[in-house]
Structures are given as C-alpha cells and as structure tokens.
Amino acid sequence: MSAIIHGSPLSPFTRKVTLVAMEKAIPFESKDINPYRPPDYFTSISPLRRIPVLEDGDFILSDSSAISAYLDASFPGSNGSLFPTPPKALGYVLWIEEYADTALFNDISEGVFRPILINKMLGKPIDSDKVEEAVTKKLPERFEYLENEIAGKEFFSEDRVTLADISVYAQLANLDHAGQLSQLKAYPGLMDHYSHMKARETSKALQALETQYLDYIMSQLKPSS
C-alpha cells in the first residue's frame, strides 16, 4: 500500500512534502483535509491539528520537516538524498528550510495569501492594508536575505536540489497563487530560483492540480449581487 499524504492543495507545507515524495519518486496518494473544518479523527492523527500528516501503513507522522526527513530516509531513491551529508551543508539546508517554514510562511500567508486569496474564497473584499503592510514592511527583509543567500547560485546548497530549495519554493508558490509574484522583481536571483523550481517536472505536475483546485473553488463562488 502506498503512503498517504493528508493535506490540502494550497497548503505550502503539504506542497513541500508532496514535492519531496515526487522528487524521490515515492508512490503516494493525497487525501484532502481542511484543518479549519477537520474530520472527527483529526486530533488522533495530528496532535497539533495541523496539516500535512503522513500515513505509511500503521505509521502516522505530523509536521512537514519530520515527514520530509522520514520520507528521505525511508526511500533512498535513485536521485540521492534531499539532505546533504557534509555537516555544514546539512545545517545550512535545515536553516533555509526553517527560514522558509517560519518567516516566509508567516509573512506570505498572513500578509498576502489570506488577505487576497482566502478573502476571495470567502467572498470578502481584499484586505489591501494588510497586503500593503506585508509588501512594504515585511517581505522585503525576507526576500533580501534569501537573495543574498542564492545570489550567483542555481540551488541553495550542493549545486543540486535539496530540501532548502523545495521549502522556499513551496512558500513562494502561494505568493504566485495570490497574483503577487511581481513582488520578487527586485530580487533577480530569487526570481530565477523560483522560476527554475517552478519549471521542474515535479512542480509542473503539482501546479496543474493546484490550479485545477483553485479554479474549482473560484467557480463555486456566487457572484456578489
């Protein structure tokens, strides 16, 4: 039986572990869970009531970082590990992952994705003040930091895709879904990184599903009278 990733198509952490599975050619199924309207059994598989959750036979695991490490170690695959072996490279990749999971997530999710896209999904007006605050006061510091880290490189570490690249891409994809990718204009290295990560076969396949999902949600919205 293949592993099951419980999550939601527009969740950046679900996207992260899904891409880990795809990059490593691990067979998996996806099952949708809305963490804001969860099924009764949710707490039993996710003690912090967050997605994603991995179910691999009778083994259940929460948290995208834990799941990524587990998948990587369980399925060596032909493409090698997404975690470098040299200690400094490993530490660095985990740091970039952490930066993406906390700082980028907070500022993109709260500052752009929710006030634009979630509001639209809920039939509410865009919260332009929140977006303005994020794009002028919060995101520049995040993007500047990552721009300095990626400048002159194709990947964050080891000249190949690692968890660092997947983690940053997974968060920036929600900036893209919210129609705000132009915020990266002043950061050419980061924009290039995003573009080549987006052009990978794995990301392209996933994006097609995400866009389909988003289009479906939007098509269900009643036109405001």
CA geometry: angle 74, 88, 79, nearest 5 deg: 35
- Strand order of the β-sheet with 53-56 is 28-32, 3-7, 53-56, 59-62
Q: What is the smallest separation between the CB atom of 86 and ligand GSH, expressed in angstroms?
A: 24
Q: What is the smallest separation between the CB atom of 63 and ligand GSH, expressed in angstroms?
A: 4
Partners of 59 in beta bridges:
56
Indicate which single residue of 9, 35, 84, 111 sits in contact with ligand GSH (rule: CB under 6 A).
Answer: 35
CA–CA dist 92, 74 (Å, integer): 22
Q: What is the smallest separation between the CB atom of 192 and ligand GSH, expressed in angstroms?
A: 26
CA geometry: angle 90, 154, 20, nearest 5 deg: 55
Q: What is the smallest separation between the CB atom of 12 and ligand GSH, expressed in angstroms?
A: 6
3-state secondary structure (DSSP) of residue 179: coil
Burial class (CB in 10 A: 0-12, 13-18, 19+), 88: exposed
Region 177-196 residues binding ligand GSH, contact defined as CB under 6 A:
none
49 touching ligand GSH, by CB under 6 A? yes
Q: What is the smallest separation between the CB atom of 92 and ligand GSH, expressed in angstroms?
A: 19
What is the chain's percent helix, strand, coil content, to nearest 5? Answer: 60, 10, 30
Count of residues that interact with ligand GSH, criterion CB under 6 A: 12
101 touching ligand GSH, by CB under 6 A? yes
3-state secondary structure (DSSP) of residue 119: helix
Choice between 61 and 191, CB closer to ligand GSH: 61
Indicate which single residue of 5, 13, 42, 172 sits in contact with ligand GSH (rule: CB under 6 A).
Answer: 13
Site string for ligand GSH, 50-89 (x = CB under 6 A): xxx----------xxx------------------------
Interacting residue ranges for ligand GSH, rule: CB under 6 A: 11-13, 35, 49-52, 63-65, 101
